[in-house]
Amino acid sequence: MGKVYVFDHPLIQHKLTMIRDKETGTKEFRELTDEVATLMAFEITRDLPLEEVTVQTPVCDAKAKVLAGKKLGIVPILRAGIGMVDGVLKLIPAAKVGHVGLYRDPETLQPVEYYVKLPTDVEERDFIVVDPMLATGGSAVEAINSLKKRGAKNIKFMCLIAAPEGVEAIKEAHPDVDIYIAALDEKLNEKGYIVPGLGDAGDRLFGTK
C-alpha cells in the first residue's frame, strides 16, 4: 500500500498559511507555491539512489557520493500543476517535464482529459505528478491512469493541500503510489472545494476570475 507523507516542516507550514490567505495576490501566490514546491522536492527526493565516486579535494583523494543518475520526470496536471514545476526543477534540473491536461467538469466533478505529452522514454523514468489540490481525487487518479497506460511504473503524487476523500481515491485506485502533502484538510464542500483549502488554485495562480 502506498504511503502518505504530510510535511510538517515549519517553513512549509508558514508559507502554506500565506498561500491560503485570500488577501494574497497572484504574484505572491505564485512565488509562494514555487517556494513550497522546492521545499517539498527536498523531502520527496530523500530516497534517490547514490553511488560512490572518488573526488580530489585540495587535500587528498576522497570517496564521496553523487546521485546515481536515475531518470526522473515531473508531470504537472494542467493548469494549476504548472505552478509547482519550476520549484521542483530547481533541485532536480535534469528532470524532464511531461504535461497532462485535465479539468474538472463543474457539474459532475469528473475529470476531462484534453492533453497528454510525456517524455518518449516513459518506461525508464520515475515520475512525480504535481498539482496543488487533491480534492475528490478524480483528476489525480486519471492523470496517474494516463501515465500508467503509457508505460510509467514508478509514480509519486505531490500536492499542497489534500482532502481525505482525495487521498482515499488515490489509495484505492493506485495503491502503489506514495502521496506527499503539505496539509491534509478537513473535508470537501458541496461544490467539491477543499475546506478550508485555498479556493480555486488555477484561478489564484493565473489571476483568472
What residue numbers does the annotated binding site for 5-phospho-alpha-D-ribose 1-diphosphate cover?
A: 79, 104, 131-139, 200
The active-site residue, picked from 20, 104, 125, 204, is 104
Q: Given the C-alpha cell 509514480, which residue does it identify?
A: 155
User: Rounded to whole angstroms, how far apart are CA atoms 40 and 11?
Assistant: 10
From the list ligand PRP, ligand URA, none, which binds 197 (C-beta under 5 to 8 Å, kind-based)?
Answer: ligand URA
Q: Does 82 bind ligand PRP (CB under 6 A)?
A: no
- Decide if 200 is catalytic: yes
> What's the gap between Cα 6 and its chain centre?
13
Q: How many residues bind ligand URA (CB under 6 A)?
A: 9
Q: Does 165 bind ligand URA (CB under 6 A)?
A: no
The active-site residue, picked from 108, 121, 150, 208, is 108
Q: How many CB atoms lie within 10 A of CB 151?
A: 12
Nearer to ligand PRP by Cβ, of 118 and 169: the residue is 169
Nearer to ligand PRP by Cβ, of 31 and 165: the residue is 165
Nearer to ligand URA by Cβ, of 87 and 138: the residue is 138
From the list ligand URA, ligand PRP, none, which binds 193 (C-beta under 5 to 8 Å, kind-based)?
Answer: ligand URA
- Contacts (Cβ under 8 Å, ≥6 apart) of 8: none
Q: Which of residues 125-144 bind ligand PRP (CB under 6 A)?
A: 131-140
CB of 27 to ligand URA, least distance (A): 18
Which residues participate in catalysis according to the annotation? 104, 108, 200, 203
Positions touching ligand PRP (CB under 6 A) are: 77, 79-80, 103-104, 109, 111, 131-140, 166, 192, 200-202
